[in-house]
Amino acid sequence: MKIGFDHTKYISEQSKFILERVNKCDKLYLEFGGKLLFDLHAKRVLPGFDENAKIKLLHSLKEKVEVIICVYSGDIERNKIRGDFGITYDMDVMRLIDDLREYDLLVNSVVITRYDDQPSTNVFINKLVNRNIKVYKHRATTGYPNDIETIVSENGYGKNPYIETSKPIVVVTGPGPGSGKLATCLSQLYHESKLGNIPEYSKFETFPVWNLPLKHPINTAYEAATVDLRDVNMIDPFHLEAYGEIAINYNRDIEAFPLLRRIIEKITGKESNYKSPTDMGVNRVKFGIFDDEVVKQASKQEIIRRYFKTACEVTKGYLDEETLELSNSILINNNLKIEDRKVVASAKEYMDIIRNEVSKCDIYSTLAIELPDGEIIRGRHSNIMDAPSSTILNAIKYLAKLDDSIHLISPTVLEPMLKLKSEIFKSKNSTLVLEEILLALSICAATDSVASKALEQLSFLKGSQAHCTTILSKNDDQTFRKLGIDITSDPIFPTENLYYNE
């Protein structure tokens, strides 16, 4: 894979800019937009970007940093799922706490935003308190968004409990958009000002990249990634008016800026230093890009991936047809076709072949994977294993330079596993999925040198591209993520079953 982004330079630039901000105030409340860890979108569109760059940056500043995690009570109540991990937001908060601790970062507390005494939220609060995690409850702000006098008063932000902090940089993050990060920052600014301190607010941004062109593929890929939120990149009119320079921001930040600036000026009692929403951001992404063409091509591929993801979400019922139309229009407007993703055509071609070769088959599912060296390997669904499993086995045989006819997994291991699923667990689908096949391979590797050689190749699959002709199960989807393979799927369920497709 070609690299187009300098991770080290980016970290240096971003750290320097944050420290410049904090040196001008007593306390910097730094809202983190996007994912704090495992930013796979950034990794895909910026080849060379470390998916954990943000938390590594914070680790380098750990003596100056503590973290507040926000989660919206409504997301807890309706069991909102974080798509990339397949876990609920409340579970993601606990995962995030564990991850932050691994990087020696101080977790100050969890803030439950727009709290309204919901039963499921109370259970979650009890879980945290019982594990010695401080929890603060912030109810909906009275008067928001139009009554500035009430918002910035004891009846507005003043009703929220003050979160005591000890470090000069307070990172405010959450499991996803709408978590209440901004409101928490503003509430803290209010309390800090009442105490006579000089607080400041900034936003750690990654996308859109403000100093790249509006229609640059990296910015368009951000629109494709947030199509469900209806985010639209725009020229920041406030920045243009203040400085005569074109800067790119997105609609929600631009629309919110006049109100946000008024609230901050009301809190601090002075004119804001920020003339535009772009001013508020800390975004040095462009300074890490050293090969623009590589980044452009990677971003175009991400636009196609996002189209497939949106199409699958529509088929599953999570998104509407209008969202898919918007995703398709982004594809068309950038002169892209789904066939521009090489593995798509290969997987579909192989499906046509097996349809003709196999007279009776419940599931016609094929998968193609493009390895880092450009080789494309294919596999298909069978009565023993699903298409992801057969393809991965074929791929590691290729990497290990083993003959394709070799069976890596002994029947003495496979047969009991199949029997367990069908006869003991009474599974409606006894076909082994990828995680099960890899576990079987690891068992064989203990006594079989050939299986061991193949198993060693799994790490070399990282960065591969893959496409499946049917929607993946949650289990297979997560296994591909753990292997570091970027997978897309056609928006077609593999069977007519309603429950067991999940």
Q: What contacts 404, CB < 8 A, 6 or more positions away? A: 394, 397, 398
- Of 208, 217, 287, the residue nearest 246 (C-alpha): 208
CA distances from 154 to 177, 200, 259, 414 (A): 27, 20, 19, 67
Structure confidence at residue 358 as a pLDDT band (50, 70, 90):
low
199-219 confidence digits (pLDDT tens): 999 999 999 999 999 999 999
Higher pLDDT, 355 or 482: 482
Check whether 196 has a pLDDT greater than 70: yes
89-120 confidence digits (pLDDT tens): 999 999 999 999 999 999 999 999 999 999 99
Angle at CA of residue 174, ends 171 and 178, nearest 5°: 120
Amino acid 252: pLDDT: 92
Say whether 65 sits in a helix, a strand or coil.
strand
Q: Percent helix, strand, coil in the chain (nearest 5)? A: 50, 15, 35
The two beta strands, 366-370 and 376-380, are: antiparallel
Amino acid 501: pLDDT: 52
Check whether 428 has a pLDDT greater than 90: no
Amino acid 146: pLDDT: 86
Amino acid 494: pLDDT: 86
Instruction: Report the pLDDT averaged over residues 219-232.
Output: 94
- Of 200, 197, 198, 175, the residue nearest 70 (C-alpha): 175
22-50 confidence digits (pLDDT tens): 998 999 999 997 788 889 999 999 999 99
Check whether 138 has a pLDDT greater than 60: yes
CA distances from 468 to 353, 382, 432, 436, 445 (A): 15, 14, 16, 18, 27
Amino acid 84: pLDDT: 66
- Of 455, 454, 496, 494, the residue nearest 477 (C-alpha): 494
Contacts 24+ apart (CB under 8 A), 142-151: 144/183, 145/259, 148/262, 148/263, 148/266, 151/263, 151/266
Determine the Cα–Cα distance for residues 251 and 230; give it in Å rounded to an integer.
9
Determine the Cα–Cα distance for residues 172 and 128; give it in Å rounded to an integer.
18
The DSSP string of 452-484 is HHHHTTGGGGTT-EEEESSPPPHHHHHHHHHHT
Structure confidence at residue 422 as a pLDDT band (50, 70, 90):
confident
Per the DSSP assignment, residues forming a β-bridge with 142 are: none
With beta carbons less than 8 A apart as the criterion, state whether 208 and 233 touch.
Answer: yes
The region of weakest confidence among 27-41, 205-219, 231-245, 298-312 is 27-41
CA distances from 118 to 88, 112, 114, 180, 289 (A): 16, 11, 10, 17, 46
Sorted by where each begins, the domain ranges of the chain are 7-206+252-288, 341-489
Instruction: Report the pLDDT averaged over residues 272-286.
Output: 94
The DSSP string of 347-381 is HHHHHHHHHHH-SS-S---EEEEE-TTS-EEEEE-
Higher pLDDT, 355 or 411: 411
So what's the architecture of 7-206+252-288 in CATH? Roll (3.10)
**45 CB-contact burial (10 Å; exposed 0-12 / middle 13-18 / buried 19+):** buried
Percent of the chain past pLDDT 90, that is, above it, reads 84
160-182 confidence digits (pLDDT tens): 999 999 999 999 999 988 899 99
With beta carbons less than 8 A apart as the criterion, state whether 168 and 242 touch.
Answer: no
With beta carbons less than 8 A apart as the criterion, state whether 120 and 72 touch.
Answer: no
Taken in order 258, 259, 263, 269, is the CA torsion positive or negative? positive
341-489 to CATH, choices 3.40.140.40, 3.10.20.30, 3.30.930.10, 3.40.50.300: 3.40.140.40
pTM across the whole model: 0.92
Question: What mean pLDDT, rounded, does the chain reach?
Answer: 93
Say whether 100 sits in a helix, a strand or coil.
helix
